[in-house]
Amino acid sequence: MKYIVLEGPTGELPVLFPRELLHRWVADRFAPMRIVAAGFVATEPAGPACYGASSGLGIGSRPARDTALLRDTLPDHDTGGLGEGGSGR
Q: How far is residue 83 from each of residues 4, 5, 40, 45, 79, measured CA to CA in Å?
A: 17, 20, 11, 11, 8
Q: What is the pLDDT of residues 19-75, one digit of tens each?
A: 999 999 999 999 999 999 999 999 999 889 999 999 999 999 999 999 999 999 987
What are the extents of the domains in the chain?
2-77
pLDDT band with cut points at 50, 70 and 90 for residue 87? very low
Q: How many residues does the chain have?
A: 89
**1: Cβ contacts below 8 Å, ≥ 6 apart:** 16, 17, 18, 19, 40, 41, 48, 82, 83, 88
CA distance 18 to 20: 5
pLDDT at 36: 98
- 57 by Cβ neighbours in 10 Å (0-12 / 13-18 / 19+) ranks as middle
Q: pTM score, two decimals? A: 0.83
